[in-house]
Structure 1
Amino acid sequence: MADPISKFLSATSNHAAKTLSRYSPRRSKGAREPFNSLEDIMKNVGSIDRTLRFILGAILIALPLLTNVFAGWGSWQYAVSLIGAVLVLTAAFRFCPAYTLLGIRTCKLPNT
């Protein structure tokens, strides 16, 4: 004999599945699927842009710390490293706040 909790969970999941299938919207053939997640909506940095950001960011982080290229800049050399860190982070997260403000998107929309 099955315990009452597993019976309840089984009945509830079956009911939920039937309800969802009944009320799911019907899509016409060729219609674009909705975004899979919030992450898909937030992405606005494409693969080429992402690669360039990562390379340039890594260079901007390393140059002031490892060479004397920015030696005469004083505290500004750390600002260059900070800009490099921002570029690396925007590449890692595939999201650029400035692109959002300007309405730019260098990546393809999902499921297109």
Structure 2
Amino acid sequence: MEANIGQADKIIRIVAGLVLLSLAFVGPKTAWGFIGLVPLATAFINFCPAYKLLGMNTLGK
């Protein structure tokens, strides 16, 4: 797996993941909040399978 997520993309994914994950514990407390694990996981491994399929790369040169 070659990294394809840049620094700004990584920060956005972490923030979005934490916000979504908080929905599972605070607020409506629905299981849908666990979808936040996906952007968190992709941010920490620096690889997004969807980006690979679409030929995208936010990492730069």
Q: TM-score range by the shorter chain?
A: 0.7 to 0.9
The gaps in structure 2 that reach 5 residues or longer are none
**Equivalent pairs, count:** 61
TM-score by length of 1: 0.50
1:64 CA displacement: 2.6
Query: What does the per-residue CA deviation read over 1:20-78, in whole Å, with 9 as the maximum and x for residues that have no partner?
Result: xxxxxxxxxxxxxxxxxxx6xx100000000000000001001231112xx6xxxxx31
- Cα deviation 1:3-26 (Å, max 9, x = unaligned): xxxxxxxxxxxxxxxxxxxxxxxx
Identical residues among aligned pairs (%)? 34
**Structure 2 match to 1:51:** 11
C-alpha RMSD over aligned residues: 1.5
Structure 1's unaligned 5+ residue stretches are: 1-38, 72-76
Runs of at least 4 residues of structure 1 off by over 3 A?
none
> Scaled by the length of structure 2, what TM-score is found?
0.87
Question: Is the radius of gyration larger for structure 1 or structure 2?
Answer: 1
